[in-house]
Structure 1
Amino acid sequence: MKRVSFAEFGGPDVLRLTDAEEPHAGPGHIRIAVRAAGVNPVDWRIREGQKLKAHPVELPSGVGQDASGVVDEVGEGVEGVGIGDHVLGRGSSTYAEFAVLSAWARMPEGLTFEEAAGYPSVVETALRIIRESGVQPGQTLLVSGASGGVGSAVLQIARDRGITVIGTAGAANQDYLRSLGALATTYGEGWAERVRELGHVDAALDLAGSGVIRELVELTGDPRKVVSIADLGAPEAGARFSGVTGNVPEALAEAVRLIARGRLHIPVEKSYTLAEAAAAHTDSAAGHTRGRRVLVV
């Protein structure tokens, strides 16, 4: 089968589309014929060699953890899913023609494979950091870097829970944030004052790692109410860095419920082939994404 992998840490150019042995589903796992794989910032951070304790790497390494596809192997002890089912889920080395998943859910009706591949990690992350921020219904959550996949999920999940959201993003994404129910403002000089004009902030999330932790702490008045998924230095200001995956099966089940109720939709901004994985990483690292980027197999 074809698989994207890297034999050394470095820039996007270390990615190679190679021939590899097919993986197989062990106990408690399933294998899918991959139709699409989600591109997440953690993918290129691992490729760069960033020290992410939750993601130890042995070289050469495959790439990717999110995918959608058609079940073609079911491991021992797995129930409730069968050959031919369409699923979305989380696994390893998903930039490939076949991948083993450790957590999955049936795809909601009407969802394309490309769309489905964009949900697993971003919804798990969104649910986790909303919980860790401590924000409650009726309060206001500030989201810095709100237009990407995680931000798109946070805005919609928070709205569904009765939480007011203020989102920051580039000028081109202001209407997009408003379409998801957020109060929107731009980055750049004076951004914190513009946020204050929109309302009191009870908790804040940093999704972009753009050096705003201290301002977020000032806006909330409590570093314990600030959570980052992109700034490893956040704890230096008393904030929390959240990088350890939570309950993925539970998150997938919640994603499917929200999608089925029409309360969650994350658009695919751009699709790439497996051979274009390096370009997908370059674009992802550049930021300013509206929704998700996926690889189509």
Structure 2
Amino acid sequence: MTTLSPTRPRRPDARPKRSYSAIPGQTPGSPPWRALKSLLMLVCVLLVLVPFLAIISTSLADTAQINETGGFVLWPNHPSFSSYTSILAGGLVSRALLVSIGITVVGTALSLGTSILLAYGLSRPGSYGHKQILMLLLLSMLFVPGVIPSYLLVKQLGMINSYWSLILPTMINAFNVIVLRSFFMGLPRELIDAARIDGASEWKILTKIVLPLSKASVAVIGLFYAVTYWNAFFNAMVYINESAKWPMQMVLRSYVVNNAQIGAGQASNAGAALPPSQALQAAILVLSVLPIVIVYPFLQRHMNKGVMVGAVKG
């Protein structure tokens, strides 16, 4: 006699999905949900673009419109470049632009070169002392020296009032080196071993194999270094004593904070009236941001891949 086991209730195949929609009763793919996301995206874009538009418009506005609006202008009625000609005529801003460009180009080249060499050496397991050097690099991220020890070191090296004081103290960034090292370690080991078997030296492996495969990461790290050098002003404020050697950001800070009249000497000698201080401040701000804005589109295509270097993959 065959006994039949009692039937158990069948479990449901799938649990009911929870709806996380911000609109009750609407799915994420419904038209109201898409309209809400588009509206939020539009608000975020306006929050970013409106301040830029206000700065550019204020730098191009005339005196009457700035006085009428009481400050910032969203759209100039009669665009004029008088504020740009006034700040460039004095010589201080144009000289500061050349100083910032030189420091950024030289500093980025030195920082990128030393970071690549250090990261490649640390990525090779058989390199001499790579564990100790890596530990020192990690400790430098945790223990940052203060302003006074840094100033005493720069003074002892004879770099006060020198352009090298704006480059050498910040030439190597530990985080950027670790990111490059992580990317170099992720390259195929077999490819490097095959090149070494063929008799390629470490320098040839780095220049002919590693760097061509690392264009995205190198471009992003180079952009990070360039933005850091271009926006730095604290080192110039501490180490540079002559205003003729100030970089662009130091001139911008001095002008915005102290409301100095840049180019006032030549403008007054020529008998021309100076634009309002708001227009001059906006113009020098545009000049300080413009070079990075021009360079960024050429490196933007590498950002999506480069910023993920060293990320944890699940």
| Structure showing greater Rg | 2
The structure with higher relative contact order (CA 8 Å, sep 6+) is 2
TM-score when scaled to structure 1?
Answer: 0.25
- Which has more helix, going by share of residues? 2
- Which has more strand, going by share of residues? 1
